[in-house]
Amino acid sequence: MDELCAFDPIKLAEPVIQTIHVEGVGDVKYAPLNMKDYLDLKDKQPEDDKVALDMGLEMTYRMLAKAYPGLTKDHLLAWPPDTLTKVSKALLATDDFRVPKPESGSG
């Protein structure tokens, strides 16, 4: 883990905007989930497909809204379904603080 030059607890709370390329969509800016996001989402167990889809939408929204402050869930729901699926899958496959995701498509 890289050591910080100077500990700044306020700066650490600011989202770190990153970019991922999503095939067929383009470059998408996002911020990884933080501890608050995790705590808000951890108790929602995907009991059925609808809950799983809602949870995926919520995680996608939280990751995108930090990079696109005017974004709403209604915007996401108005996207073509294949675009939302591509962006969601790409974001949910990124590394976050919980566990690194395995490389896909190699082997």
For the chain, 107 residues long, give each residue's pLDDT as a single digit of tens.
556 578 888 888 899 999 999 999 999 999 998 888 888 887 777 677 887 788 889 999 999 999 999 999 999 999 999 999 999 999 988 876 655 555 544 44
Q: Of 18, 17, 19, 25, nearest to 85 (Cα)? A: 25
pTM above 0.85, yes or no: no
- Predicted confidence at residue 103, as pLDDT, reads 55
What lies within 8 Å, CB to CB, of 86 at 6+ separation is: 22, 23, 24, 25
Count of other CB atoms within 10 angstroms of residue 66: 21
- Predicted confidence at residue 50, as pLDDT, reads 80
Distance of alpha carbon 88 from alpha carbon 9, whole angstroms: 30
